[in-house]
Structure formats: C-alpha cells, structure tokens
Chains A and B, each alone.
Chain A
Amino acid sequence: MAPATAEYDIRLIGLTKRFDDVVAVDGISLDIDRGHFFALLGPSGCGKTTTLRMIGGFEEPTEGRIELGGVDVAPLPPYKRDVNTVFQSYALFPHLSIFENVAFGLRRRGVKAGEVRRRVVESLDLVGLAGLEKRKPRQLSGGQQQRIALARALVNRPRVLLLDEPLGALDLKLRKEMQLELKRIQHEVGITFVHVTHDQEEAMTMADRIVIMNGGHIEQLGTPSELYERPRTAFVAGFLGASNLLEATVSGDDRVTLAEGSVVQLPHGMLAGRTGTVQIGVRPEKLRIGEGDTNSLSGIVTESAYIGVSTQYIVDTPAGPVTVYVQNDRTGGQVAAGERLTLSWSPESTFVVDAQEGTL
C-alpha cells in the first residue's frame, strides 16, 4: 500500500514539549507515510496524546518541527492546518443538528451550499448514519456520536486524520465493531490516520504501523508483527503481550548462554553486535512441551491454570520462572503442579533485548 518512494505526510523532527519542569515529549523524530493507519501506543503519560495535540495544533511544541506534506506547521493555529481530529469525548456541538455538526468545517471554508449538502450526506453514508441529519447530538447513542465525530472530520478530506482514543468511551462489543469499521473506512478514503491508544490489542487490530512510546520517547516503530515477534526493548516485549525474559551472556555468533549454563541458539544476526549481558525473550505460546526444538529448558511446574482455549503453566527453571501457554487442542494431558516439564523452542521464536534493570 505504501508507495515505493518515501512520501511523508507527517514528519516530526526533534519534537519536544515541556510543561513547566515536566518533559511530556522528549525530542521525538518520526516519519509517517501517506495512506497509512498509524497507531501511537503507550501507557498513560507516555506523551502520545501530547504528540497528537501538537500535530493538531492544540499544544505548541517547545522545540522541534512538525512538517505536514513538507511544510513546517508548528507555528500555525489549528484552523490553518490541513488536519482534522476525532476527539476522545467526540466534542460534538450540542446546539447544532447533526447536519450542521458535519457541515461545520465545510461552511468555515466557504464551500457552496449545494456542495455542502452533497458532501455531508455522502459522509454520513460512509459512517452508516444517513437520515439522522435533523437530530441533535444528545439524541444519539455513544456509538452513533462517535461515528458522527468521524464523519465531521472526514467530510473535510484532510491530509491527515487524528484520532485521540476515540473508542475509549464505548463498551467492549461496540469497540470491536468500531475497530473493524475504522479500518474499513480508512481503507476506503485512503487518508493517513494517526490513532492514539493505550490498548495494544486495538492498535494491533487496526494499525499497519505502530509507534510504541514510553516516557516521552519512541521505544520502537514497526508493523504489528515486527513489534510482537522482534521487540527491541524489554518495555515493548512487556507492553505488547506477555513474554519470558531471561538473563543471558553472549557466547558466540548467534548464541548466548543462560545463567544455568544451557546454550540458546538465536536467529541469524539477532545480536546485532551486542556483547556481554543481554536478555533473551520467548513468547509463552511459542514454547512447546517436550524436547524437539533446538533450545530447551526444564523445571518444576509451580502453577497451572486452565483458561479454556489454553492452559497456562508457570515453570520454575534454573534460568528463572517461565510462563507457557499450551493450546487445549486435545482432551486430557493436563500437567499438575509439582511435576517436571521440559520446554523447547525454535531459534526463530527467540528475540533479544538489552539487559536493563527496572525498565518494567
């Protein structure tokens, strides 16, 4: 989907925001390609919302540039930026009808009445709410208001659409529905979406590129599978799903030795020149019971929890406690606490992060 030649819609260069003595965003640089569904993911306070608000023009950067299509917009007020926002609380105008809410941006830009009508109807169609033009926002459900907020932003055909945790106020079922709906709409209109969320599942479902932020920094940027399969920091490994992180020492090309002495084979080039102490990681669902794969560890089962689709074990190995998810694809075969288990995994399922104390 991304054009071969790098064509950036948004380019952040050394963007920094300080509130008094708190650094909310600490010199981030980021290129967002045209037409992508981009997610800014991170825990609350990581700077993702502040970053979005700076792109929208609601916060002035302390330092750095924000380029929209190659032009620095950092000094421009929101109304002079070719960007529209879907707010967390929707922020629909309570005194205006749905039609006037959606038409608001077009009217401010002096679009002719006939064109306004055509585009408002078209955009309400896009979000599946045609026919509600005469209602007031308070007469709509939360999910409908959410769609109107989307229509109100998209009707202006901005270069970039910013979404500030737009699904946060919806219940789980509606949220799942809207995730797929948003993805469909993004595909249909082809506008770059920048979506802020703290929900990793939401980001993985919708986005084709995810930026994980932590403490005002970018931890890692990549596709959902890159981030999941090859997290580069302990934070990313822990934030996107569960993972087992084990201390190890580099002992050769593509090879490390765990604390208890067993050797773990890594994918080629994974160490990327690291030496000394590192941490290796394996996702719980990539561990298999029994010998078979190249890498293995054994230990005593300390906990066993049946959770329907899988059974979760915690195995106390000499290298540390290891969590394993085993698919319940056969009846029986439960392992009880106290039994000894051997676990194995393939080199391809292993990733390496820098050994850092207290990142989680």
Chain B
Amino acid sequence: MRVFHRKRWLTPYLLLAPGMLWLALFFLVPLGFLFYQSLESGNIDFGYAFTWAWGNYSSAIRSYRGQFERSFEYAGIATVVAFLVSYPVAYWIAFRGGRWKNLLLLFIVAPFFVTYLIRTLAWETILSDNGFVVRILHDIGVLSPGGRLLATGTAVVAGITYNFLPFMALPLYVSLEQIDQRLIEAAEDLYASRWAAFIRVTFPLSLPGVVAGTLLTFIPAAGDFINAELLGSPTNHMIGNVIESKYKELLDYPAAASMSFILMAIILAMILLYARAVGTEQLTG
C-alpha cells in the first residue's frame, strides 16, 4: 500500500502503457518500415535495395498528379455533401428526437452492421444501367438517353458520401446534443430570431462536432479506393486505387510506399491549415 502511494506518479504512465505499446508496435514500426521501403529502388525480379531513392517521390507526383487531385476533389465534395445531409438530421435528432433519439441514432449506424464491401456492392446494383434508379431518372428526363450513373464520378462521390456519413453525423449529434437549450432561449430572449440564434449560438457551439465530423470523413475518404473501384471507371480512379494496384498487382513496393507518404503528408498539411482556420480549441472541444 505504502509503496503504491509513493509511486503514485507512475499511475498515469501505467495507464498509458498498453495504448502506447500498441501504437508503437502496430503503427510506428510499420510506418518506419514503410518509409524505409519508399526509399528503395530495384524491381521485383532482382529484388529491392535501400538507396535513398527520393526520386520515387517526384516520379509519383509526376505520374499520378491527376489521381491525387481527384482524391482530394472527391473527398472534399463527399465531405461537404455529408455535412449538408447530416447536420439537419443530427440537429433534428438532438433537439426534437425526444424518446426516439436512440432508435434514430441506430438507423444512422444500421448500415454499419453490413460489411463495407457488401454495402458498396449493393450500390453497384442499385446504380447499374438496368436498375430502377437509372430507369426512373431516364423516365423523368434527368438522365439523357444512354446516360448512366455507374462508372461515373457522381457514383463514386455518392458512394463515399454514403459510406462515411455516420462518421459525420455522430460527432455532429454529440456536439449538438450537449448544447444547453437555455442558451438558445437566452438568445431568443435577447432579440435573436430563430435563424439568428442558430447562426450566433447553436452553430458556433456545434463547431467541435463539425471539425471532428469533417476530419473523420475527409481523411479516410481521401485514401479510399473501394468506391472508385466498384462504382467508378478507371477515369475515376483515386490515389488509393493506384497504391492498391502498385502493391498488389504490380508489386512495385517503393512506388506504393512513397505515394502513401505523399498522401499522408498532404492530409496532415490540410489538417494543420484547417485547425489554424477554425482554432485548435475546436479540435479538443
């Protein structure tokens, strides 16, 4: 007992240890290995050797600039659409859900009970050329004859939006749900209309959820390849598709590793800019 008391300062470290160990073993070590790999040169037949081959990075950018740009474009659009769809839903559940709150949240999470791949394959069927969606869109004239949904950028963005929607909706819900209703009453008491109260009080107070939701959606979306693979054509391929094929089909590990690092670096830079723009306060709530 006495020993325990004297070593009290150790407690936080002991509590941190399992997580740190896990991160070190399964994140830092592979990351280091990946970085090592990204600087190798050679080919699969004669083997790869570490040669400080920084050229892997410049050639990755030169050859796949389009896919990089498309990744951020699709991820950006999907994030914005997911935000626009989720905010009203989260708002409604948080403020008007009443005793149905938990059931409504379950509906948002429900698709997650089905595997990612299966869900996306289902969309492949739904959006296919002889599926009912395309047929209806043809009938009402939204799609021109011969126009299709599958194998278009629209389908890829729609797939990403759908797949990452809960990552947007749940943090938004949590931050909205925590807002004290009396603050909104106070705003209305101080001559703010419903809309002014939303803009001046509700929305600023939900910013931590907005930041968390956009990051949780944008980051995985930028590295996604499943949606482009199943719902897009090769012209819709994102950088994730390139990395996947380099690794698994072409076995060009250095190129795949260097592209992974470039993707990571760009995302990191974007988060820093974003955090600076909205204030780091919002990241931690």
Contacts and interface: CB of A to CB of B under 8 A. Distances in A.
Interface of A: 56-58, 77-79, 83-85, 87, 89, 91-95, 104-105, 108-109, 152-153, 156
Interface stretch (B31-39, B56-64, B181-189, B259-267): B181-189
Contact of B192 (A56, A57, A84, A104): A104
B74 to A, nearest CB: 33
A109 B183 CA distance: 18
A87 B185 CA distance: 9
Contacts of A85: 185-186, 189
Interface stretch (B18-26, B85-93, B198-206, B244-252): B198-206
Given A91-B180, A93-B201, A104-B200, A79 B186 contact: no
B191 A156 contact: yes
Contact of B205 (A87, A91, A92, A95): A95
Given A87-B186, A93-B187, 11 more contacts: A58-B189, A78-B188, A84-B189, A85-B185, A87-B182, A87-B185, A93-B183, A93-B200, A94-B183, A104-B200, A156-B190
Of the listed residues B186, B188, B194, B196, the one surrounded by the most CB atoms of chain A closer than 10 A to its CB is B186
B185 A79 contact: no
A104 B187 contact: yes
B11 interface: no
B193 interface: yes
A316 B194 CA distance: 62
Contacts of B194: 77
Contact of B189 (A56, A92, A109): A56
Nearest to B193: A79
B128 to A, nearest CB: 48
Given A89-B182, A91-B185, A108-B196, A84 B205 contact: no
Contacts of A95: 201, 204-205
Nearest to A94: B205
A87 B186 CA distance: 8
A84 B182 contact: no
Given A91-B180, A94-B205, A105-B190, A78 B196 contact: no
A84 B190 contact: yes
A87 B194 CA distance: 19
A270 B72 CA distance: 86
Interface string B195-229: 01000110011000000000000000000000000
Contacts of A152: 190
A243 B88 CA distance: 57
6 contacts: A85-B186, A91-B180, A92-B186, A93-B200, A108-B191, A156-B191
B284 to A, nearest CB: 14
A93 B186 contact: yes
Contacts of B205: 94-95
Of the listed residues B183, B189, B191, B193, the one surrounded by the most CB atoms of chain A closer than 10 A to its CB is B189
Contacts of B188: 57-58, 77-79
A89 B180 contact: yes
Contact of A79 (B180, B183, B189): B189
Contacts of B191: 79, 105, 108-109, 156
A110 to B, nearest CB: 9
A104 B194 CA distance: 14
Contacts of B200: 93, 104
B273 to A, nearest CB: 22
Nearest to B282: A95
A78 B180 contact: no
Nearest to A88: B182
A92 B183 CA distance: 7
Contacts of B201: 93, 95
Pairs A-B, 9 closest by C-beta atoms: A105-B190, A91-B186, A108-B191, A78-B188, A91-B182, A85-B189, A79-B191, A104-B190, A95-B204
Contacts of B196: 79, 108
B69 to A, nearest CB: 36
Contact of B185 (A58, A92, A105, A156): A58
Interface string B121-162: 000000000000000000000000000000000000000000
B280 to A, nearest CB: 15
A291 to B, nearest CB: 59
Nearest to A108: B191
A84 B188 CA distance: 10
A79 B186 CA distance: 10
B151 to A, nearest CB: 46
Nearest to B182: A91
B194 to A, nearest CB: 8
Contacts of A89: 180, 182
A85 B191 CA distance: 11
Nearest to A164: B182
A278 B180 CA distance: 49
Nearest to B205: A95
Contacts of B180: 89, 91
Contacts of B204: 95
A142 B77 CA distance: 45
A58 B186 CA distance: 10
A85 B190 CA distance: 8
Contacts of B187: 93, 104
A146 to B, nearest CB: 14
Of the listed residues B186, B190, B192, B200, the one surrounded by the most CB atoms of chain A closer than 10 A to its CB is B190
B185 A108 contact: no
B190 A108 contact: yes
A201 B144 CA distance: 78
A238 B79 CA distance: 63
Contacts of A156: 190-191
